Amino acid sequence: MVNSMEYAVGIDVGTTNCKVVLCKLPTCDVVHLEKFSSPKIADDTYVDFDVHGLKHQLACALTACADVAAGVPIRFVSIASVGESGVLVYPDGSHDGSSIAWFDKRGKEYADAMHEEGLASAFYGVTGIPAHPNYGLFKLLWMRDHGSKLEDATWLPLGDFVAWWLCGEKAQDESLASRTFALDISSGEPARQILDRYGLPAELFPHLQESGTPRGAVRPEISRRTGLPAGCQVCVAGHDHMAGSVACGLDPAGEMLNSTGTSEGILTLNEQPILTQESFENRLSNGRYVRGGLFSYYASLPTAGFALEWIAGLMGIDEDTFFDVLPIEMHRRYLAGEFDGRELIYVPHLRGSGPPRRNPAAQGCLYGFHDGTTRDDVFFSATLGLAFELKNLYAHMLGGEGRAVAKVIGPSIKSPLWMQLKADVLGVEVRACRVRESVARGAVMLAAGKAGYQIKPEFESTVYTCDAKRHEYYGQLFRERFLPVEDAIAALEG
């Protein structure tokens, strides 16, 4: 019989923030949260994650969790992370002090050359992902050509790196390996034709390990430093969006996940990867899912919450108003029709564009304002622009149909305006899933399930249904104004 007084720790290494949660087993309820800004090294050109800073902050957060546990056993630590960033680790135990941020454009020239040489389509059939500088291969090529020594090194995706630091074992989580552009998605073997083409040894990438399974116990040094018990196991739950889907109990039949944060994405689950020419042309990504036997079909937009925060900062809207006042008040006004005919067209390409026209150099646009435009018109239109951008992705990914329910996790669920716009623009039922720290908790749930605990996702949700008249109205606005403006910008950018 499992002792009811047991804990586990979940780690979410995110773009903007890192979260470390202490969860009670077997419910996986969060009883304590530590949160800190993801340490970065940035200048006007490049953005890196500060690896040494990350280790220090994680050690402090783990110590705080161990203190709260107060001697009650912590059975395991489970880690989820951003999908594409990684760290080079060397045989002597040293490692690089920085990790290129997933959205950093270094490596773009190699991805562009792959397309220009006509290789990208064939390699999509191997990796299941479109050539793009986000992925690990292109970061590695840039690093090699700018002085990094790859000989005898090991590339560890960020979540796998944290696990190695904690327990000393090198491995790749299947879902994180899917984001390297160096994995044959169907076989789970290294994509040797790609590695040979670019002169990279297969040994650069460690063996795959199933998501949520133990890598080993924490190292004695980590146990002494943090207070984690000596037998505490370390697991990797994989790509953050995938871990979040576990927390909300995503049903492969009829549901999609809309995971939100700095960026946002759509995730569906399939029994086989979708490797068609149409899927390649729409720049859609397949991956090995965190639960065996399934493949993820995923696409992300580089800016979501960040695009609203940028607008708010530009207009001097304070944080309390931005998070707690505007979304609720403007939701009421939206339902009353107060913004009808006042919409601006906001193309939120602040960090490039996502599928179907993926371009890291794409730029944003706010079109249609005049001397009668108000602050609230701009904020409403920015939220609408994000919904339109998501609709465009949805249409190319699923034909605009095939999923009756969109489960939404992440900060956007706090905005009833954003949720209702998603429902009305996409034409689906939207369920805002109030899962506390969905990614970190999902990481714990995945590992707990693999360890034999009986796990059942339980959470409260708010349902937003599509209004047929608004859906028709915004469908026309999307076709007649948003898409033409987006197309015109793309033509201008070349």
> Running DSSP on this structure, what letter comes out for residue 189?
S
Q: How far apart are CA 306 and CA 61, in angstroms?
A: 25
Q: What is the model's pLDDT at position 263?
A: 84
Q: What is the model's pLDDT at position 377?
A: 94
Q: What is the model's pLDDT at position 1?
A: 38
Q: Provide the terminal-to-terminal Cα distance of the chain, rounded to the nearest Å.
A: 64
Task: Name the amino acid, one letter, at 397.
Answer: M
User: Which residue in the block uniquely carries the two structure tokens 């605990």?
Assistant: 453
| Coil/strand/helix, residue 224 | helix
Query: How many separate helices (H) and strands (E) can be counted in the chain?
Result: 18, 22
CB-based contact 260:303 (threshold 8 Å)? no
Neighbours of 43 (CB within 10 A): 7
Residues forming beta bridges with residue 461, ordered by sequence position: 433
Neighbours of 3 (CB within 10 A): 9
Q: What is the model's pLDDT at position 4?
A: 60
Q: In what order do the strands lie in the sheet with 405-409?
A: 285-288, 295-301, 264-270, 255-260, 405-409, 429-434, 460-464
Contacts 24+ apart (CB under 8 A), 107-110: 107/133, 107/137, 107/138, 107/139, 107/141, 107/142, 108/133, 108/138, 108/360, 108/361, 109/142, 110/137, 110/138, 110/141, 110/142, 110/198
Query: Which two three-digit tokens encode residue 163?
Result: 């696990």
Q: What is the model's pLDDT at position 367?
A: 95
Q: How far apart are CA 66 and CA 3, in angstroms?
A: 18
CB-based contact 407:256 (threshold 8 Å)? yes
Residue 462: φ, ψ to 5° = -115, 130
pLDDT-flagged residues of the chain (< 70)? 1-4, 400-402
- Paired sense of beta strands 295-301 and 264-270, if any: antiparallel
CB-based contact 1:19 (threshold 8 Å)? no
Q: How far apart are CA 65 and CA 74, in angstroms?
A: 9
Task: Name the amino acid, one letter, at 118.
Answer: G
The residues, ordered by sequence, that sit 6+ positions from 316 with a Cβ below 8 Å of its Cβ are none
Sign of CA dihedral 156, 159, 165, 166: negative
Q: What is the model's pLDDT at position 354?
A: 86
Residue 178: φ, ψ to 5° = -65, -15
Integer angstrom CA distances of residue 97 from 90, 149, 154: 12, 14, 14
- Paired sense of beta strands 460-464 and 429-434, if any: antiparallel
> Running DSSP on this structure, what letter comes out for residue 412?
G
Q: What is the model's pLDDT at position 2?
A: 44
Q: How far apart are CA 443 and CA 163, in angstroms?
A: 13
